[in-house]
Structures are given as C-alpha cells and as structure tokens.
C-alpha cells in the first residue's frame, strides 16, 4: 500500500479528472470505483491492441488476462511510473506469452519485404470507405509481429517512440525502423485498392 499516493476519489475532485496514477493508487488503497474509471479510459485502445493482432476469442482471453494481472498486482504499482506505459507493458508481455504458446514468436526481419496480399480477395472494384478500412485491418494483421505492434501502439496511444521502445523492450532506433517499414508496407498494400 502506498501511503504517499493521493487517494482522493470521492473527494471534491471528480474521479474522471484525476490522473491515471492517482486512480491506480486509490484503487490499490481499496477504492474499487477508481478501477472503473481506469477501465473505461483504457479498455478501448487495449482491446483493439489485441483484436488487431489476434482472433476475437484470443483477444478476449488476452484482454482478460491483462486486467487480471493488473488487479492481482495492484499493490506493486509505483505511482512514479506512468500508468499507461505500465498497462501497455503488461499487455505486450501477455501478447508475447500468447505468441510463445502458439509458437508464433521468432526472429522477424525489419527489412524483409512481406507479401501483403493477405485475404485472397484481390483488387476489388468496391472503393467504399468501410471496405477500405476492412482491407487496412487485414493488411495490419499480415504485418510482422514487431512492426504491427509498434504501429498499433502508435495509433492506439499517444506514445512517443521512446515510450514504445520502453514498452516493447527495444531501442528507439529499432522502433523507428519498425514504424517506417510498417507504414511503407501498409501504403503499398492499400495502393492497389485506392488506385
């Protein structure tokens, strides 16, 4: 239990305006409503972080494991570290564990070109925006794991390159490289649909 952490949920300050760190400290001190606020804030990006990389059932499992880990280790959280980085670091570890279980983890080249013709639908005449988004999601899924994760973290969070490097346990240069290749591949893949 962190005594120094502000536990002011229910006080004049509204929980919604409190920082993630203060809310997590309050939750660790026994305030369950603080967790609800945190959950509402982060469930979308985290869920998408999983669903863009896994099947729906796998994503549901990983999403649940992530929150259970956070709940079980609530008294280990230190308010001096950014909560969002902490949360996504757990998410990254859960995802890596899942890939490890499936045998889908291994050395992945940042430079090797990938075949992005993912779903076999081929160039479709339908240029409706919704369909384009669906194609994009399909292309994202076909990216190498490390490029896809870096790109999704950039899209779903406000993380800087340094933050992504910290969460994924790589160097900033490595993250920049992954982001660059991911973007290039997605653009190339989408080019055939947008003409």
Stretch of 41-49, 82-90, 115-123, 158-166 contacting other proteins, by CB under 8 A = 41-49
Q: Per rule CB under 8 A, is residue 179 in the interface with other proteins?
A: no
> Can you tell me which of 2, 74, 141, 180 binds other proteins, judged by CB under 8 A?
74
Show the 3-state SS of the chain: CCCCCCCCCCCCCCHHHCCHHHHHHHHHCCCHHHHHHHHHHHHHHHHHHHHCCCCHHHHHHHHHHHHHHHHHCHHHCCCCCCHHHHHHHHHHHHHHHHHHHHCCCCCCCCCCCCCCCCCCCCCCCCCCHHHHHHHHHHHHHHCCHHHHHHHHHHHHCCCCHHHHHHHHCCCHHHHHHHHHHHHHHHHHHHHHHHC
x/- string (CB under 8 A) for other proteins, residues 124-163? Answer: -----x--xx--xx--x--------------x--------
Question: Which chain residues interact with other proteins by CB under 8 A?
Answer: 27, 32, 35-36, 39, 43-44, 47-48, 51, 60, 63-64, 67-68, 71, 74-75, 129, 132-133, 136-137, 140, 155, 183, 186-187, 190-191, 194-195
């Amino acid at each position: 239990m962190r005594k120094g952490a502000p536990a002011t949920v229910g006080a004049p300050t509204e929980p919604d305006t409190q920082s993630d760190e203060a809310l997590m400290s309050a939750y660790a001190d026994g305030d369950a409503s603080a967790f609800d606020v945190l959950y509402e804030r982060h469930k979308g990006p985290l869920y998408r972080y999983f669903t863009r990389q896994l099947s729906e059932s796998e994503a549901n499992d990983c999403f649940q494991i992530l929150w259970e880990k956070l709940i079980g280790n609530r008294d280990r959280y230190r308010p001096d570290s950014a909560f969002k980085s902490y949360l996504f670091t757990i998410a990254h570890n859960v995802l890596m564990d899942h890939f490890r279980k499936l045998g889908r983890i291994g050395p992945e080249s940042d430079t090797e070109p990938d075949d992005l013709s993912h779903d076999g639908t081929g160039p479709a005449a339908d240029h409706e925006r919704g369909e384009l988004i669906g194609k994009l999601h399909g292309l994202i899924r076909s990216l190498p794991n490390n490029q896809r994760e870096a790109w999704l973290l950039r899209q779903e969070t406000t993380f800087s390159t340094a933050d992504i490097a910290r969460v994924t346990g790589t160097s900033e240069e490595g993250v920049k490289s992954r982001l660059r290749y991911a973007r290039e591949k997605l653009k190339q893949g989408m080019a055939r649909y947008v003409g």
